């Protein structure tokens, strides 16, 4: 009888991100571990974090590079290029030690998939996970024209990256149908692993009770397209500002301008801006005192098809949500599910905030809707789909 050791079920994951503060990559990496895979993850290194550590079963390898936040698209591409070279060198060296069955590459950038060339040549399957469609995201961020040279260049690299990959996955059906198919990607090549909330990390709050001021919360990356300028303008217009507190948690390109808006509009007594990025697992505790989730959003060709994860995390907690109407949000939520306002009309938001501040009991029925909807948007089902996909691609079911 032959006793051949089974080939290890190893997976490498890559992302231009800080691992500890990126919910989707954490959920996928931990799902793979639960599915029986050994997982290595190449990520950026935030000051004060070790170059390598085990995080809940995932071996996180932090490369010597931080995240660029700024206003130059060429600088972004330069930073992406440096990360690409580091990933190419590291993944090649690791492959000959670990013989990865699959390499899961998270965008942006899409072209990071080509750093897997050596594992790909030796038979590893490559997954391209499109969180943010790159052409539309850059056009939105830098106020560029869709159809211009830079947009077409990014579209070309997206198509080439998808063609190179063994499998493309993305975050929601609206992104697949509203953007990626229009970009020319083949529908059968794209699998949706929805970016839903981790119901274990964001458990349902058993009690919902408001005493004193109504506390609103926004957490996540601080970007202009997140609608924070609209939120500040609306807060400057509310009549019941003495009855509300808005907590904003996060860091990003718009942080300095947001600080300036809070000061110039004299909102220091209304807005608590905690300008820090916390590990994902610390967020529920940071917002435990809040009553209502805020999801303002500037609608563009990319944000129109984005379903903000924070919205689903608030729903998972059983919190009412104040948000905008977009193609993606309207795809999943009906008018009675959330308190909606018009994204380009700060007075629409200020009226909604005043209505809540004047009669907090109005929140109770939206709390009931969140409780009823939370199971529909839980990560549990998507986790099973992701692990099944990994097993199918790697032949793990046959080992």
What are the pLDDT digits (tens) for 315-331?
999 999 999 999 999 99
pTM of the complete model beyond 0.75: yes
Dihedral of the CA atoms 116, 170, 156, 40 (nearest 10)?
Answer: -20
Q: Is the pLDDT of residue 40 over 70?
A: yes
For residue 348, the model assigns a pLDDT of 97
**pLDDT for 383:** 96
Q: Around Cβ 51, how many Cβ atoms within 10 Å? A: 10
Provide the token pair at 200. Answer: 């274990």
Tell me the C-alpha distance between 265 and 275, whole Å: 18
% of the chain exceeding 90 in pLDDT: 82
**Banded model confidence at residue 145, pLDDT cuts 50, 70, 90:** low
**Mean pLDDT, rounded, for 182-194:** 94
pLDDT confidence band for 302 (50 / 70 / 90): confident
Q: Please tell me the predicted confidence (pLDDT) of residue 249.
A: 97
Question: Rounded CA gap, 134 and 140, in Å?
Answer: 10
Q: What is the pLDDT of residue 142?
A: 66
Task: Using DSSP, state whether 24 is helix, strand or coil.
Answer: helix
Q: Is the pLDDT of residue 2 over 50?
A: no
Average pLDDT of the segment spanning 208-219: 94
Q: Which residues pair with 63 in a beta bridge?
A: 44
Round to whole Å and give the CA distance between 64 and 18. 12
Give the chain's domains with CATH numbers: 10-196+378-398 (3.40.50.2000), 214-377 (3.40.50.2000)
DSSP codes joined into one string, 210-272: --SSEEEEEES---GGGTHHHHHHHHHH-S-GGGEEEEEE--STTHHHHHHHHHHTT-TTTEE
Length of the chain, please?
A: 399
How is residue 204 annotated by DSSP?
Answer: P
Q: Which residues pair with 104 in a beta bridge?
A: 13, 127
Look at residue 341 and give its three-state secondary structure: strand
Q: Cα-flanking dihedrals φ and ψ of residue 222, to 5°?
A: -90, 95
Please check whether residue 142 is in contact with residue 181, taking contact to mean a CB–CB distance below 8 angstroms: no
Determine the pLDDT at residue 309.
94
For residue 3, pLDDT beyond 60: no
The answer to whether 108 touches 131, Cβ cutoff 8 Å, is: yes
- pLDDT computed for residue 365 by the predictor: 95
**Model confidence pLDDT, tens digit, residues 360-374:** 999 999 999 999 999
Find, among 381, 358, 394, the residue nearest to 238 by Cα: 358
């Amino acid at each position: 009888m032959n006793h051949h050791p089974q080939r290890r079920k190893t997976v490498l994951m890559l992302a231009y991100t800080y691992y500890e503060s990126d919910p989707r990559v954490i959920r996928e990496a931990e799902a793979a571990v639960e599915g029986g895979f050994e997982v290595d993850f190449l990520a950026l290194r935030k000051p004060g974090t070790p170059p390598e550590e085990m995080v809940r079963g995932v071996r996180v390898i932090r490369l010597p590079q931080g995240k660029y936040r700024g206003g130059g698209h060429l600088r972004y591409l330069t930073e992406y290029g440096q990360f690409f070279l580091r990933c190419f060198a590291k993944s090649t060296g690791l492959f000959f030690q670990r013989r990865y069955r699959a390499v899961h590459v998270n965008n942006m950038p899409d072209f990071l998939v080509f750093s897997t060339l050596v594992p790909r040549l030796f038979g590893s399957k490559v997954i391209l996970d499109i969180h943010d469609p790159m052409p539309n995201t850059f056009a939105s961020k830098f106020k560029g024209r869709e159809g211009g040279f830079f947009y077409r260049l990014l579209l070309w690299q997206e198509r080439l990256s998808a063609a190179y990959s063994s499998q493309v996955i993305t975050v929601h059906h609206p992104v697949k149908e509203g953007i990626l198919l229009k970009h020319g990607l083949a529908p059968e090549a794209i699998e949706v692993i929805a970016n839903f909330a981790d119901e274990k990390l964001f458990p349902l709050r058993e009690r919902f009770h408001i005493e004193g001021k109504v506390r609103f919360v926004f957490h996540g990356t601080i970007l202009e397209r997140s609608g924070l300028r609209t939120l500040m303008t609306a807060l400057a217009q509310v009549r019941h500002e003495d009855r509300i507190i808005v907590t904003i948690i996060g860091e990003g390109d718009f942080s300095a301008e947001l600080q300036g808006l809070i000061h110039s509009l004299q909102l220091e007594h209304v807005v608590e801006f905690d300008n820090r990025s916390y590990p994902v697992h610390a967020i529920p505790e940071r917002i435990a005192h809040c009553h209502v989730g805020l999801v303002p959003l500037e609608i563009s060709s990319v944000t129109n098809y984005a379903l903000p994860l924070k919205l689903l995390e608030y729903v998972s907690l059983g919190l009412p949500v104040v948000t905008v109407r977009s193609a993606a949000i309207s795809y999943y939520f009906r008018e009675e599910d959330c308190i909606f306002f018009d994204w380009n009309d700060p007075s629409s938001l200020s009226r909604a905030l005043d209505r809540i501040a004047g009669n907090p009991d109005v929140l109770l029925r939206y709390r009931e809707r969140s409780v009823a909807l939370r199971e529909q948007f839980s990560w549990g089902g998507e986790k099973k789909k992701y692990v099944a996909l990994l097993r199918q691609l790697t032949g793990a079911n046959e080992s």
